[in-house]
Amino acid sequence: MRTVRENEEVVCVSSQGMVVRTPVSEISLIGRNTQGVRVIRLTEHDLFVAVAVVMPKEEVEAIGDDVEAIASASAEPPDADETDEPEGDETNSTEAT
């Protein structure tokens, strides 16, 4: 569990498939009679099953750029010094004594 930021959104999901997506900035910090606030109104037999935080597009793009940089760096072939292959002739020869 974590605290959401004002520039994020939350998605609430019910067991009967109701989905509500709302910006955190539009959720009041204090409800009537200090009993909290309602983000999703459920029917009598519906249950609250999930909540997810949606990050702002700018943050998602920044993370995507970081992932792409890591992926391209790991796709580069290793330097010759970093391989486990022995240098020189690849055949295994033994010297006669």
Domain-wise residue ranges, the chain: 9-75
Supply the mean pLDDT for the chain: 77
Residue 9 contacts residue 24 (beta carbons within 8 Å):
yes
Is residue 4 within 8 A of residue 54, CB to CB? The reply is no
Give pLDDT, residue 62: 73
34-56 confidence digits (pLDDT tens): 677 788 899 999 999 999 999 88
Nearest to 27 by CA among 11, 39, 18, 35: 39
Euclidean distance between CA atoms 24 and 40, whole angstroms: 13
pTM (global) more than 0.75: no
